[in-house]
Structure 1
C-alpha cells in the first residue's frame, strides 16, 4: 500500500471506561518520575513509600469533566507524538527519494463526553465544554510551533520566516489564529478569524509558496519542511485537537426517532410498535422527502430523557459549525442489530441539519458487538450500502464505511474463541462486501485491556495477526482505563507506542489479503461452534450469577469510583438477566480478580480436544493428523497463533489454588462452577502444550507474595461479608485489594 493513500489513517481512541482502579494522580506521578528512578536520582524505595502513602480508592466517583481533565496529559502526549511521527515519516521519505504524504496518517480520537451509552451524566453542556478543552490543546500546539514575533531561536519557524523576509505574512497568520482561538475558546467575536480549519491550512500553504530565495538552500528546505509539517498538523488537529466520537445505544435512538416522527402524524403515533419492514419503509420515505413524509424541523418532548436526546442533535450541529466537522466525526450505534438502527441515525442527522447537500457530516458507524449480531453483520452492512439514499451520500463523501467490531460483549456471552473468530472473519467478509460496491471499509476494533477482551502486550501483537487487506484504510482501536496511561502516560511511552501502532499497521497492510482464512475456515468454524457450546454451559449455568456476586468482588467494582458511568446497564436484575445487562468490564474483572481468568480461555480447550476426538479412521482423518494440522495452523496462521497465545498468557497468570479459595466462600461448599473452571483450565493447558509442543508443569507458575496477600485479604473480606452479619466490609480495603491484584496481573478489566 502506498503511504500516500488518501484513506489511510491510524487512530488510538481514548475512552473513560472504568478499568483504572489506582488513583490516576498516583499513576501519573509514577510515570512522570520513572526516568528519575531509572537514573538513580530518586531512590526507588523512597518513591515507592511516597506512592503508597497516596494509595487507596478515589474518594468519590469522577465526573465526566474530571475524566476529561485526568486524560488530558495523555492526550496531549499523543498529539505531540503524532506530530513527531509525521515528521519522521516525511524525513524518511525524503531520504528514500519517495513521494511525500499530503495528509495526516494519524489522528487521535476520544469518547469522553461523547459516549452516552448508559452514562446519564453526559449533557450537551458537558460535551461542549470537553470539545472546547480539546480545542485548547490544538491552539497550544500551534502557538508552540509558530512562536512569537520576538522568537529568534536559530532554525525555528519564526526565525527562518524573518530571515526569508516574510515576518509580516507570519504575523498575519498568528493574528488570525489568535482571533480564532479567542472566538472558539473565549466567545469573542471577530471578523479577522478563520472560518474553518481548511482556511487556516490554505493560509499555511500560501506561506509555503512565498519567495524564499533570500535563504540559503539548506534553510529553504528546512523552512519548507516545517511548513509542510504544520499543514499535516492542521489536517490532523484542525481546531478540535482530538475528535470526539458520539456513541448511543440503538434502543434510545429508536425512541428518539419515534418521538420525532410520531409528532408529525406520519406514523399515526405508533413507530415503536411497527415491524422492522414498516420502520425501514417509513424511514426511507422520510429520508427521501416523499410527499407526506417530510422531516420535522422542530420537535420537543414531554419526556425529559427524549428531550435531552433532541437537544443533543442541535448540539452536534453547533459544535461542527464552530470547530469543524472533524470535531464530531463519528456517530456510533451500540447494539446495532437491524437496518432500521442505521437509518434512524440518518434521520437524526437529517433533523440536526447534518445530512444536507447530498453529504453526511458525520459517519454512521454500526457497533456490532455480540456473536449473533456478528453472524448477521454481512447482511446488515450489505443492506445499508444498498440503500440508495445512504450509498449516494457515502460516495459523495470520502467513500469509506466505518464499522466497529466489539470484542467484549461477544466474549462475555459466547466466549473468547467464538468472539475472536466472528470478529476476524467478518473483518474480511465486510471488506469484500464494501469493495463490491466501490466502497472502502474502515475497521474500528473495540478492544479492552485484557486477554479476554482482545488485548495483546503491544500494538504489534494486536495488529500483526489481522487480515492485511482490512488495514488498507488503516487501523482504529479503543484504549481504555489504565491502557491510556500505560501507553500514553508520558512522552517516551507515547512516542514508542504511537510509532509502533503506525509501523505495525503499515507493515501488516503490505501483506495483503489473508490467504489462509479459506484454508482453515472449516476447522475454525468447528472449533468456534464447539467452544461456544461449552462456554454457554458455564454462562447459562443458573448458579453463575450468584457465584460471581458471592465469591468475587464483582459487586465492589461499581463502588470503586473508577469511572463516571454505572457498571451495569440496568439495576435490580437477577440471574441470567443480571449477566445480560452487566457490562463486560466488571464481568471480566471479577474472573481476573478471583484468580481463574476464565473468560480468557474457557471453551478453547474443550473445542480443541473435541476436534481431535471426532476424527475417524474411516476417512483417514486421525487424531494424530488433526493434531499435526493444529500445530501447522499455529505455525502458519497469525490469527490462530494470536488466539492460542492470548489464552496461554492468561493461563500463565491464572492460579487455580487461589480460585478455589474464592470458590470455597460459597455456602454449602457447592463447587459446581469451580469444577467446571478447573477442568477447562487443565484441558486448555494440555491442548495448548500439544499445539505449541511445549511441556510445562501446571504447578510451576508461582504467584508473587504480594498478589497472594491481596487475594487472601480480598477473599477474607468477601467471606466475612457473607458469613458474619453485622460486620461492615470496608470499601476502601476492598479497593486496595483490587488495586494490588490488578497491578500484579498487569490488567484489571
Structure 2
C-alpha cells in the first residue's frame, strides 16, 4: 500500500521538480548564478531549521538574512513566493489527475460527488418526482466577496491559469518529442512572464477594479462551468425514465457583494453600484451575443434536407436577413433575428440607449429570449435534431436562465448604526424634537411600524440633509431604478450588519420605502430584508429578535410577497473574534436551532446565509463537511455562503477545480436536506458538554485577548498587522475606525495577521483549556464522552477536523521569531508562553479525542499539500521577520518596505486560506 501511494504521488513530485527547475533556470538566467546560489542556500538552511530546529541551522539562517541588501532580499522573497505558487499549481493538477483516474476506473462515487448524493437520495426514497420538487424549491448560492486577503494581481492569475492549462493538456494527450519540447518551452515562457511581472499593485485597487477581477472568473469559469454542471446533473437524473426530458430550474446561481457592500466601506457609493451593475450586464449580454452568433454559424440546417416548426419559420421570416444564400436556412435566420433583438437589448440596458433600428424590438426580459431559444430547441427535438439541441443551444438556454441580463445578483449591505442615524435625521427634520436615537426599543418599533403603514415618504425635496443621509437615499433610489432596468433579480437582498434589535431591520425597511422598493399599500417588498448576527451576544438573541420581527403584522404581510422565505445571515468572523473558535461555532449552531424553531412557529421558511471566510478562524474549511454538519432542517434545499479573498482563486481559478467545487455545493445541499434519523446532537449529554467546553474556551480566549495586560501591544508588534494595513490588496480599510483597538479591527486582517506569523490563533485558542477543565471535572469518563461525540456527531467531528487542519499549519518555532519582534521582553515572554502552552494543550486534547498520532491522518491530500508547500513558505517567514526588524528600527529604504509587502503577498498566496 505504501508503495502504491508513493507511485500515485510520483507525477506530482515530477511536476514540482520540473516547475521548480524552470523557475531556477529563469532566476539564474535573469539575475545571475550568484543569486540562484543564494536562494538555494536560504532554502537548504530553512529546511534544516524545519526538520531539526537546531540552533546551528537557526544561526546560519539569521546570518544569511541579516547580510542581505534590500534589493537582494526582494529577489529572495519573489523567488520563494513563485516557488510556492508553482507548487500549488502542481498540487491542483495532481488532484485533477487523481479524480480523472478514479472516474475512468468507474469506481463507486466518492462522497461529495453528484453520483454519491443521488445514490443517497435514492436510498432515502426520493424518486424523480421528489427530486423535481426538491430542486423547484431549492436555492444554492455562493456569493463572491472582495476582502483584503485576495493578494494576487490579475496579471499573475492569468499566467498561473496558462501554466495550469499546459499541465492539464500534457496529462490528457500523448505527445511527440517535438510537441513535448514545445509545451515545455511554453511553460518556461510563462514562468519567465511571472518573474518579470510586478507582484504588487502600485496603489490600492478601486472597487470597480475588484468588480473587474471577479468578472474574470465569470468569463473564464462560471459562464461555462455552471451550464455544464446543470447538463451533467440533468443527464444523471434522466437515467430514470420517470424524469424524462425535464429541465432543472435555475436553483444554483453565483451572487456577489462586490460593489454593493457598504458596511465600513466609504468607497461603495450609488455611482459605484451603478458601474458595477453596468459591468455585470455588459459581460453577460456580450457573452450571449457571441454564443448566439457562434450558434448561428453552427446550425447550418437546410430546409431541403431537414424540417423546422412553424414557430421557427415565423422567427426566420421576421429576421431582417435577406440574403438568398440563407433563404432555406431557417434556424440561421431565426438566430439572426434573436441576435438583432439581443443587440437592441444591450443598447437599451446600457444606460437606456436607443436602438439603431426601431423595427427591431429589444427583449423586455430574459424570459422572452429564453422563449425564442426554446422554440429552436423544441423544433430540433421534434425533427431529428435532438443531438444538436443538446449542444451549444442547450448551454446558451441554460446560461439565459441562470444569468439573465444581470449576470449575478448583487447584495446590498450596510451597518445598522449608519441606517439608524439616517432614519433619526429624517424623523428629526420632519418632526423636530423626536430624539429617535434616545428612544427605548419598544418605542422605536412602535414609531417605525406606524411609519411603515403609510405610503408617504419621510424625505422631502425641500429639506437639506447631511452627506451620509443623502448618500444612503441616493443608493436606494439607484437600486430602484435598476430593478426596473434589469429586474429585481439583479439586486435581491438588503443585509443589515450588526443587527441587535428589531428596530435595526425596520430602519432599513423605512429607507427601502423611501425609494419605492417597499410599498405598504401593495404589501410588497421587492428584495429580501436580511439581518446579520455577528457577535456572540447577537447570536444568542437572534431567535428573540426574529420572533419580534415576525410578530409584526405589517412585516408578515410584506414577507408573503417574498414567498414567505425569511433569510438570516450568520457571521462567523466577528463571532470568532468576539468569543474564540469553539464558542463561535457552538453559538452559531445553537442560533440555527433557535431560528428554525421561530420560523416554524410563524409558518415561514428559513434560509441561512453563512458568512464564512477562507480560514477556519473565519468559518472556512471543507464546504461538504460544513454543510452536512448543520442541524437537521437547517439546510432543506436552501443555503447561501460567502466565498472570500484568496479562496476564490484557489477554488475557482482552474476550470476542473471550479467544476468540482461547484458540484460539491450541490451534492452537500442535497444530502443535508434528506430525511435522517434523530440528530445525535440532540443527546442532552452532548449539548451539555458543548456548553461546558464553550464556556471554558471563551473564558480562556477572552482572558488572553481582552484581559491580558498590553496584549494589544503584543499583537501589533508580533504580527505584520501594521504593514498589512498598508498593502494594496483591497479597497476596504483594515480598521472600522482607523485606530489600533482590537475591538475596532476588522475580523479579516485580525485572522490574516495571525496566519502570517504562523500561529493561526483564532482557529484553536481556548480548546486545550476547555478540554483540560472538562477532564479535570469528569476524569476518564469525560474523555470517553468526547471520543463518543467525535465518533457519532457530525457537528463535533467537523469542528475537530477543522481544528486539525489549522493546528497542522501552526509552526511555533517560526512564530517565536515573530515574538522576538516585541520590544518588551517581559511582555513577549509572558504572552508567547501562554500561547505556546495553550497550543500544546490543544494539540494534546485533539489527538486524545480523535485517536490520531499525527495531524491530518484522515486527510492525506491536505497533509501532502502542506508537506510540499511549506519548505517554500518557511524562508518567506524568516525573511519577513528580518525585514520587519529593519523597518521598525528606522530603515527608510523603500525597498525594505516593498520586501515586507512582497513577503505578505507570498505567504498569503502560499497558504491559500489565510484570511
TM-score (norm 2): 0.75
Aligned ranges for residues 128-527 of structure 1 at < 5 Å?
128-147=274-293, 150-153=296-299, 166-169=312-315, 170-171=334-335, 172-185=337-350, 187-190=352-355, 192-204=361-373, 215-216=383-384, 219-220=385-386, 223=389, 232-265=398-431, 268-289=433-454, 295-296=458-459, 298=461, 301-356=464-519, 357-456=522-621, 458-512=622-676, 515-519=679-683, 520-527=686-693
Q: Deviations over 1:531-584 (max 9, x none)?
A: 11110011112312111211110011121100011011001x34xxx1111011
Give the Å deviation of 1:497.
Answer: 1.4
Deviates more, 1:296-305 or 1:252-261: 296-305
Is the 8 Å Cα contact of residues 230 and 248 (structure 2) preserved in structure 1? no
Name the CA distance, whole Å, in 2 between partners of 1:379 and 1:491. Answer: 44
Name the CA distance, whole Å, in 1 between partners of 2:648 and 2:616. Answer: 16
Question: Counterpart of 1:712?
Answer: 878
1:553 paired with 2:720, answer: yes
Secondary structure of the 1:187 match is: coil
Deviates more, 1:677-686 or 1:636-645: 636-645
Give the Å deviation of 1:229.
Answer: 6.3
Q: Deviations over 1:337-368 (max 9, x none)?
A: 11000011111111110112212101001111
Check 1:160–1:687 CA distance in 2 against 1; reply closer, same or farther (3 A cut).
Answer: farther
Secondary structure of the 2:495 match is: strand
Aligned ranges for residues 25-104 of structure 1 at < 5 Å?
25-38=155-168, 39=170, 41-42=183-184, 47-76=190-219, 77-99=221-243, 100-104=246-250
Question: Counterpart of 2:260?
Answer: 114
Which is greater in Rg? 2
Give the Å deviation of 1:227.
Answer: 7.0
Question: Counterpart of 1:18?
Answer: 148
Give the Å deviation of 1:514.
Answer: 6.2
Check 1:720–1:296 CA distance in 2 against 1; reply closer, same or farther (3 A cut).
Answer: closer
Check 1:473–1:658 CA distance in 2 against 1; reply closer, same or farther (3 A cut).
Answer: same
Check 1:212–1:555 CA distance in 2 against 1; reply closer, same or farther (3 A cut).
Answer: closer
Is the 8 Å Cα contact of residues 20 and 748 (structure 1) preserved in structure 2? no
Check 1:122–1:418 CA distance in 2 against 1; reply closer, same or farther (3 A cut).
Answer: same
Question: Counterpart of 1:530?
Answer: 696
Name the CA distance, whole Å, in 2 between partners of 1:59 and 1:434. Answer: 49
Name the CA distance, whole Å, in 2 between partners of 1:439 and 1:241. Answer: 29
Deviates more, 1:137-146 or 1:86-95: 137-146
Question: Counterpart of 1:619?
Answer: none
Is the 8 Å Cα contact of residues 714 and 822 (structure 2) preserved in structure 1? yes
1:7 paired with 2:129, answer: no
Give the Å deviation of 1:529.
Answer: 1.0
Give the Å deviation of 1:429.
Answer: 2.5
Give the Å deviation of 1:407.
Answer: 0.6
Is the 8 Å Cα contact of residues 559 and 731 (structure 1) preserved in structure 2? no
Check 1:53–1:160 CA distance in 2 against 1; reply closer, same or farther (3 A cut).
Answer: farther
Name the CA distance, whole Å, in 2 between partners of 1:339 and 1:478. Answer: 24
1:656 paired with 2:656, answer: no
Q: Deviations over 1:633-678 (max 9, x none)?
A: 1111111111111111111111111111111221231212111110
Check 1:208–1:37 CA distance in 2 against 1; reply closer, same or farther (3 A cut).
Answer: closer
Question: Counterpart of 1:584?
Answer: 747
Secondary structure of the 2:634 match is: helix
Question: Counterpart of 2:56?
Answer: none
Is the 8 Å Cα contact of residues 613 and 644 (structure 2) preserved in structure 1? yes
Secondary structure of the 1:188 match is: coil
Q: Deviations over 1:61-118 (max 9, x none)?
A: 0011111111211123223222111222222222212443452121110011101111
User: Pick from 650, 653, 677: which aligns with 2:835?
Assistant: 677
Secondary structure of the 1:740 match is: helix
Name the CA distance, whole Å, in 2 between partners of 1:679 and 1:155. Answer: 74
Secondary structure of the 1:566 match is: coil
Structure 2 unmatched runs, 5+: 1-129, 171-179, 316-333, 857-862
Question: Counterpart of 1:620?
Answer: none
Is the 8 Å Cα contact of residues 411 and 493 (structure 2) preserved in structure 1? yes
Give the Å deviation of 1:42.
Answer: 3.4
Give the Å deviation of 1:162.
Answer: 5.6
Deviates more, 1:134-143 or 1:415-424: 134-143
Check 1:9–1:726 CA distance in 2 against 1; reply closer, same or farther (3 A cut).
Answer: closer
1:125 paired with 2:294, answer: no
Check 1:213–1:204 CA distance in 2 against 1; reply closer, same or farther (3 A cut).
Answer: closer
Check 1:215–1:740 CA distance in 2 against 1; reply closer, same or farther (3 A cut).
Answer: same
Question: Counterpart of 1:640?
Answer: 796
Question: Counterpart of 1:544?
Answer: 711
Is the 8 Å Cα contact of residues 720 and 727 (structure 1) preserved in structure 2? no
Check 1:383–1:183 CA distance in 2 against 1; reply closer, same or farther (3 A cut).
Answer: same
TM-score (norm 1): 0.91
Check 1:568–1:164 CA distance in 2 against 1; reply closer, same or farther (3 A cut).
Answer: same
Secondary structure of the 2:849 match is: helix
Is the 8 Å Cα contact of residues 159 and 190 (structure 2) preserved in structure 1? no
Give the Å deviation of 1:45.
Answer: 6.2
Deviates more, 1:331-340 or 1:145-154: 145-154
Name the CA distance, whole Å, in 2 between partners of 1:594 and 1:256. Answer: 41
Is the 8 Å Cα contact of residues 469 and 512 (structure 1) preserved in structure 2? no
Is the 8 Å Cα contact of residues 297 and 351 (structure 1) preserved in structure 2? no
Secondary structure of the 1:54 match is: coil
Check 1:202–1:542 CA distance in 2 against 1; reply closer, same or farther (3 A cut).
Answer: farther
Check 1:547–1:729 CA distance in 2 against 1; reply closer, same or farther (3 A cut).
Answer: farther
Name the CA distance, whole Å, in 2 between partners of 1:294 and 1:50. Answer: 57
Is the 8 Å Cα contact of residues 468 and 510 (structure 1) preserved in structure 2? no
Is the 8 Å Cα contact of residues 549 and 555 (structure 1) preserved in structure 2? yes
1:564 paired with 2:731, answer: yes
Check 1:729–1:643 CA distance in 2 against 1; reply closer, same or farther (3 A cut).
Answer: farther
Question: Counterpart of 1:618?
Answer: none
Secondary structure of the 1:117 match is: coil
Structure 1 unmatched runs, 5+: 616-622
Give the Å deviation of 1:204.
Answer: 4.8
Question: Counterpart of 2:53?
Answer: none
Over aligned residues, Cα RMSD in angstroms? 2.8
Name the CA distance, whole Å, in 2 between partners of 1:228 and 1:459. Answer: 29
User: Pick from 829, 845, 853: which aligns with 1:695?
Assistant: 853
Is the 8 Å Cα contact of residues 706 and 740 (structure 1) preserved in structure 2? no
Is the 8 Å Cα contact of residues 138 and 240 (structure 1) preserved in structure 2? yes
Secondary structure of the 1:263 match is: helix
Give the Å deviation of 1:485.
Answer: 1.3
Q: Deviations over 1:671-695 (max 9, x none)?
A: 1211111011000000011001123
Check 1:69–1:166 CA distance in 2 against 1; reply closer, same or farther (3 A cut).
Answer: same
Check 1:238–1:297 CA distance in 2 against 1; reply closer, same or farther (3 A cut).
Answer: farther
Name the CA distance, whole Å, in 1 between partners of 2:711 and 2:408. Answer: 41
Give the Å deviation of 1:161.
Answer: 8.6
